[in-house]
Chain A
């Protein structure tokens, strides 16, 4: 098992290298580059000042040298300083990551808790009313623009009913609250964002667990189990479920980039101070060091998600560990 994990970790190295290369290329395709951004506000910036700035960022060196410089600093977790406020990019991201991770992990949990039972049930009762209803839900779920759903739910629960807060992760008067109230306040703020970011995933994963389950219950060993007189529920729970859920784990890993990418929209709509919101504001102000930092970190988080999925797949399926 350990050698399997090590092998997977080694395979990640060329991928991370490629990720940094693409990030660097994308940002340096910028017409004018970072110096233009910093000087475009002050027309008085002389040619000399521009040269100095270029030297400061090392932009007067050839591209490949710049890349290597950036990469060596990157490995040491030195992502440079933000153009906007001069703070270290690493610190800015570190501040924002916990909120985003919390929301995404919570929604992953909700996705699993809701989608897998739905998928399994509709597979075991294929073509029943329940199956048909969930199929409709899946298609509508796939097709709903979640930011729009967010608006509609904000109108219903926030504006009309006044039940839920529609921005931020805590109320203004939070400091005067007792501990329990504070937690309740936090939960109230998170219900809409977490529920919404889970929404699309529920549709996808329930569809996937349904087809995975359908495939498994057509296998011979399931027919055998039924033939020897086991109860239907025993067959499903003890014989089919574990085999059906194995590929589902992989899909969960694959849904990580979608969730992280989606955080841009949710955090912007609900004014949540997370990585997505930071990325959006950095993109608007062309804060290149922050953009590059978040791009690489987002991609590395995706790789970690995939790694966790692969490892847990190997844990439940011995065939993967043994192969090669």
Chain B
């Protein structure tokens, strides 16, 4: 199965490139202590806001800290937020979607109205309202992005469950006495997961964008801990004198998010069985 998916996935060169970038970024984030040229928080008052040079390839910020090193360490924030937030969203979405799709009836109606209500809130407003109450930090925003991002997954899983539960292999499993829990988690969920993987990949892209936006507004990752979003805040504060503070972190966000979107697209084509037959 995996082999077929990989075989189909690698036909799309852009998606493969995206995957390569994602893997290298993960390596960079993990190896940050070894590869970053300077300490990300080391202040150097003699080198404040100096433009890109050989010593500081991306220049320095308003406290003389090396931008490249801060960006290398900042990649950790994006990676963490992306994966953990989406992990939370997928867990909630899959469980609620499975329950709604499997049991149907009143349970389904109530859960889906709940989804409608959650979707009515502009997500950014909801996130901001919660951050007004709880102290903003990287863990807060991971949880909040997760708690406000599960609705699409729930709808996807529910739709898969609605068709899957009518299939013969489920009736067969039920006939030999499998419990509801066993049917849901052992028999149906594994078959319903491929759209979830695709949604998760796009979800990571979205979560990284939201994290950077929140950190930019000062509501996400708190300085001195670097994140691409909060570096852009100092880019805005020094907008007239230091273009490099705005350009490089933004490009990093753009390339990362683009890579996840490309992988998501490739994965969607690779996992769609309707597209398999057409080329055999």
Interface residues of B, dominant DSSP: helix
Bound-state CA distance A139–B126 (Å) is 27
- Annotate B120-157 by CB proximity to A: 1 below 8 A, 0 otherwise: 11111110111111000000000000000000000000
Residues A246-305 near B (CB distance < 8 A) = 257-258, 260-262, 264-265, 268-269, 279-280, 282-284, 286, 291, 294-295, 298-300, 302-303
Q: How near does chain B come to A127, taking the closest CB pair, in angstroms? A: 14
Q: Does B125 lie within 8 Å of A261, measured CB to CB? A: yes
| Interface contact B117-A19, CB-CB below 8 Å | yes
Alpha-carbon distance between A275 and B65 when the two chains are bound, in angstroms: 36
Task: Please report the C-alpha to C-alpha distance between residue A23 and residue B124 in the assembled complex, in whole angstroms.
Answer: 14
Question: Which residues between 143 and 172 of chain A lie within 8 Å of chain B, taking CB atoms?
Answer: 143-145, 147-149, 151-152, 154-155, 159
Determine how close the nearest CB of chain A comes to the CB of B260; give it in whole angstroms: 8
**Closest A residue, CB atoms, query B249:** A148
Contacts of A302 in B (CB 8 A): 119-122
What separation, in Å, do the CA atoms of A22 and B113 have in the docked complex? Answer: 13
> Counting CB contacts under 8 A, is B262 at the interface?
yes
- Does the CB pair B240–A159 fall under 8 Å? yes
- Cβ–Cβ contact B123 & A261, under 8 A: yes
Q: Is A18 an interface residue (CB 8 A)?
A: yes
Q: Is the CB of B120 within 8 A of A155?
A: no
B118 contacts chain A at the CB level, 8 A cutoff: yes
B132 in contact with A143 (CB, 8 Å): no
Per the bound structure, the CA–CA distance linking A279 and B261 in Å amounts to: 30
CB distance from A32 to the nearest CB of B (A): 9
Complex Cα gap A283–B136 (Å): 11
CB <8 Å contact, A140 and B122: no
- Evaluate contact between B121 and A152: CB separation under 8 angstroms: no
Sorting the interface of chain A by its residue count into under 10, 10 to 19, 20 to 34 or 35 or more gives 35 or more
Binds A, one of B43-51, B100-108, B231-239: B231-239
A315 and B259 CA atoms in complex are apart in Å by 40
Q: Is the CB of B258 within 8 A of A143?
A: yes
- 1/0 per residue B249-271: CB within 8 Å of A? 11001100110011001000000
- Please tell me if the beta carbons of A148 and B125 are within 8 angstroms of each other in the complex: no
Residues on A with beta carbons closer than 8 Å to the beta carbon of B133: 26-27, 29-31, 286
Interface of A, secondary structure class, is helix
Inter-chain contact B254/A26, CB cutoff 8 Å: no
User: Contacts of B123 on A, CB cut-off 8 Å?
Assistant: 257-258, 261
A264 CB contacts on chain B under 8 angstroms = 124-125, 128, 217
Instruction: Tell me the minimal C-beta distance from A169 to chain B in angstroms.
Output: 19
* Residues of chain A contacted by B120 (CB below 8 angstroms): 15, 19, 257, 299-300, 302-303, 306
Binding-face segment, B159-167, B175-183, B190-198, B205-213:
B205-213
Question: Contacts A265-B213, A283-B129; is A151 near B122 (CB within 8 Å)?
Answer: no
Flag whether A70 is at the interface (Cβ < 8 A): no
Q: Which residues of B contact A19 (CB under 8 A)?
A: 117, 120-121
CA distance A23 to B129 in the complex (A): 9
**Given contact pairs A280-B217, A291-B132, A14 touches B212 in the complex (Cβ within 8 A):** no
**Cα(A300)–Cα(B262), bound, Å:** 34
Residues of chain A lying within 8 A (CB to CB) of residue B247:
152
B232 lies within 8 A of A15 (CB): no
A4 CB–B CB distance under 8 Å: no
Apart from A147-B213, A152-B247, A261-B125, what 7 extra A-B contacts exist at CB < 8 Å? A18-B116, A26-B133, A151-B235, A159-B240, A257-B122, A279-B125, A283-B219
6 nearest A-B residue pairs (beta carbon): A261-B124, A261-B122, A148-B250, A283-B132, A18-B117, A143-B258
27 contacts between A and B (CB under 8 A): A15-B113, A23-B129, A26-B130, A26-B133, A143-B254, A143-B258, A144-B257, A145-B212, A145-B250, A147-B212, A148-B212, A148-B232, A148-B253, A155-B243, A258-B122, A261-B122, A261-B124, A261-B125, A262-B124, A268-B217, A279-B125, A280-B217, A282-B132, A283-B131, A294-B125, A298-B121, A299-B121
